[in-house]
Amino acid sequence: MTKILKTVLASTISFALCSEVSATTTVTELPYKIDNQKEIKVFFRKGLDINADRARGAELKQETLLLKKGSFRRDGAKPLPCDIVFEKDVPVTLRDGTVIYVDIFRPNDNERHPSIMAWSPYGKEIGGQHLDDVPFRSGVPLDATSGLEKFEAPDPAFWVKYGYVIINPDSRGAFNSEGNLIYWGSQMARDGYDTIEWAATQKWSNGKVGMSGNSWLTVSQWFIAGEEPPHLAAIAPWEGFVDHFRETANRGGIPNPVFPEAIFETFASRNLIEDQPRMIVTHTLLDEYWQDKIAKVENIKIPAYVVASYTNPVHTHGTFRGFNLIQSQNKWLRVHNTNEWFDYYQPQNMEDLKRFFDHYLKGENNGWENTPKVRLSILDPGHEDIVNRVENEFPLARTSYQRLYLSTDSRLVTSNPKDNRKVSYYINSDKPSAEFTYTFDKDTEITGYMKLHLNVEAMGSDDMELHVSVQKLSADGDPIPDRITGNTITADGYLRVSQRAVDEKLSSDYEPILRHDHEDLLQPGEIVPVDIAIWPMGMKYHKGEKLSLKVEAYNPPSKDDVPPFGSAKISIPQEHYTFDKEKPVNMKTIGGHNDEVGAPDDIVYAPATRNKGKHVLHIGGNYESYLVIPVIN
């Protein structure tokens, strides 16, 4: 226990050194209720003001407008295909008395309709994050949608045309909604439950509510559906994690606040915002706070249309895990080969999702139940990807798990080398890594979960932080860029070796899941076995092509890897929300400031890595070190 306390204290001190707060700090610890209503202390701080340029917020103004067919939200966007009734800033009172504001888009009639809710804190109109901020709009043309949609959410113009109501809340604390802005967890799940039950009683509702959207809006679905609102009839999670600690914040036990900090800086609130970046670097074990950030996906029994990919660095693992753990009798999985935003707004995929919701929210007998349960993409850089291959399950039942052993000649081989050997690298060298390759002697498909088993030693440190990656190389040994994005594709794993303890109850033969409830620091000369989970991948290798395994010292990612949210300047009408191109209208331009930060002195930076000295990999003989690959027969 003394050893554990020393480790946690050292982590906290490291945080304090790398992220000192000034005398003008806005950081405070506040009571926070977790699932069992127990109160714990959680850091909060100030984010963007709701009137900040970067926030691209909207005035609080309760009104009902009729958006006319053929009108435009912005130049270049798709014209509205029908009249839409727009109810702006409708107040919803949650069970604790907090009032949040939602926007409603509905058909211009007096009928009862199903509704689809898109839950996030990004802004229910333009907001601090937008596709225009992403290079090339991630491949989504401006005229693919109407511009009425909130970020990562369904386009009201498409759905209202087909008789749906779109509900866009500003979640607790976001923009003008009351309270402090929070990240997922049981409080957000209860808020979503309350909003769904409110929606089901409205005069325009047929009593059935669905949920849809990417990323944050998918994570929200896992949490809210896990609370089992009676009127939530179907969900469509389109890439989103289920376990915030294990899958993003402290993956492999390594605190990584870089991406969460970049996202935090886009949030706007009248009040405070849960300082999750600070929780990441101060709460480095899976404690009560992080347990509350695991969605109760095992409670989900309603129909679900789940969409995943192999290439999302935040959501890949959680999407597959969510699909496998939900208890729905009616669930479908589709794995695409592009990116979440591009895939979501593709016309054929919107139509596919419409068939799903038509069946479960409208009761249409449209044959959706005959849709294949699993449709996979198999990536094949340098050749043609396989898309929508029909399967029965994931991972595939016909998988053969095979071992490739590490060898001192930088190869992966099919049997363990006889002699005890070592491969090492220095942390401060130009190339702090070791790479091993395997050449396929026939066409081979590797689809599913990979696992790396190593025997490691740290010289000059009491811990190691590792990043491992698997990628496809050409027959000449060169990385092969993806045809669609131009990027190379890797499947990755991470590990802070002191948190190597495996949770035997949650793990499987092909996937180790770590406990993260304590740390075992390394002693001088100690050699320890570790299992590193590598996220799912579907990849075709042709005869002569190579599989590359790289083991390297972990380095924190760059904030520059996150899109410059808030940078795009977006022009919209000053009045009436949409406009007729034949009539003059005054426009206003919002955004254009991606460097604006609510509390600059309180920014959280990545703590210093624990890597020092030299990493030694023990292989062969008594030290079997191998990569487990899922070969499809």
In a domain, 388, yes or no: no
Per-residue model confidence as pLDDT tens digits over 99-150? 999 999 999 999 999 999 999 999 999 999 999 999 999 999 999 999 999 9
Per-residue model confidence as pLDDT tens digits over 418-428? 999 999 999 99
Give the count of beta carbons closer than 10 Å to the beta carbon of residue 123.
24
Q: Which of 173-182, 369-378, 404-413, 559-568 has the lowest mean pLDDT?
A: 559-568
518: containing domain: 399-554+609-632
Are 544 and 440 in contact, with CB atoms under 8 Å apart?
yes
Q: In the predicted model, is pLDDT for residue 260 greater than 70?
A: yes
Give the residue-averaged pLDDT of 378-402.
97
Which pLDDT band, with edges at 50, 70 and 90, does 6 fall under?
very low
Distance CA 343, CA 305 (A): 14
Distance CA 459, CA 614 (A): 5
Q: Which of 109-123, 224-238, 560-574 has the lowest mean pLDDT?
A: 560-574
Q: Do both 622 and 513 map to the same domain?
A: yes
In a domain, 523, yes or no: yes
Q: Do both 347 and 412 map to the same domain?
A: no
Indicate the average pLDDT of the chain: 94
pLDDT score, position 327:
98
Give the residue-averaged pLDDT of 20-32.
82
Q: In the predicted model, is pLDDT for residue 539 greater than 90?
A: yes
Give the residue-averaged pLDDT of 55-82.
97
Boundary-marking domain end, from 371, 386, 417: 371
In a domain, 599, yes or no: no
Q: Do both 506 and 358 map to the same domain?
A: no
Give the residue-averaged pLDDT of 547-572.
93
pLDDT score, position 15:
39
Distance CA 539, CA 546 (A): 12
Which pLDDT band, with edges at 50, 70 and 90, does 36 fall under?
confident
Which pLDDT band, with edges at 50, 70 and 90, does 1 fall under?
very low
CATH code for the domain in which residue 74 is found: 3.40.50.1820
Residue with tokens 């304090």: 16
pLDDT score, position 23:
61
pLDDT score, position 22:
56
Distance CA 360, CA 371 (A): 14
Q: Do both 252 and 124 map to the same domain?
A: yes
Domain count, the chain: 2
Q: Do both 120 and 197 map to the same domain?
A: yes
In a domain, 464, yes or no: yes
- DSSP codes of every residue in 207-223: EEEEEEEETHHHHHHHH
Q: Do both 415 and 346 map to the same domain?
A: no
Q: Do both 427 and 354 map to the same domain?
A: no
Which pLDDT band, with edges at 50, 70 and 90, does 414 fall under?
very high
Q: Do both 515 and 614 map to the same domain?
A: yes
Kindly report the pTM of this predicted structure. Answer: 0.95
95 backbone dihedrals φ, ψ, rounded to 5°: -60, -25
In a domain, 394, yes or no: no
Q: Do both 171 and 108 map to the same domain?
A: yes
How far, in Å, are 131, 244, 312, 489, 563 from residue 152 at the CA level? 8, 19, 15, 23, 14
- Between β-strands 412-413 and 399-406, what pairing exists: parallel, antiparallel or unpaired? antiparallel
Tokens encoding 329: 């009798």
In a domain, 10, yes or no: no
Which pLDDT band, with edges at 50, 70 and 90, does 322 fall under?
very high
Tokens encoding 11: 């982590």
CATH code for the domain in which residue 421 is found: 2.60.120.260
Which pLDDT band, with edges at 50, 70 and 90, does 156 fall under?
very high
Q: In the predicted model, is pLDDT for residue 7 greater than 70?
A: no
Q: Coil, strand or helix: which one is 384?
A: coil
Closest CA to 321 of 461, 218, 406: 218
Distance CA 134, CA 131 (A): 5
Q: In the predicted model, is pLDDT for residue 572 greater than 60?
A: yes
Rounded to the nearest 10°, the torsion over CA 591, 595, 598, 599 is: -170
Q: Do both 361 and 419 map to the same domain?
A: no
The alpha carbon of 496 is separated from its chain's Cα centroid by a whole number of angstroms, namely: 21
Distance CA 453, CA 398 (A): 23
Distance CA 605, CA 591 (A): 25
Q: Do both 365 and 404 map to the same domain?
A: no
In a domain, 379, yes or no: no
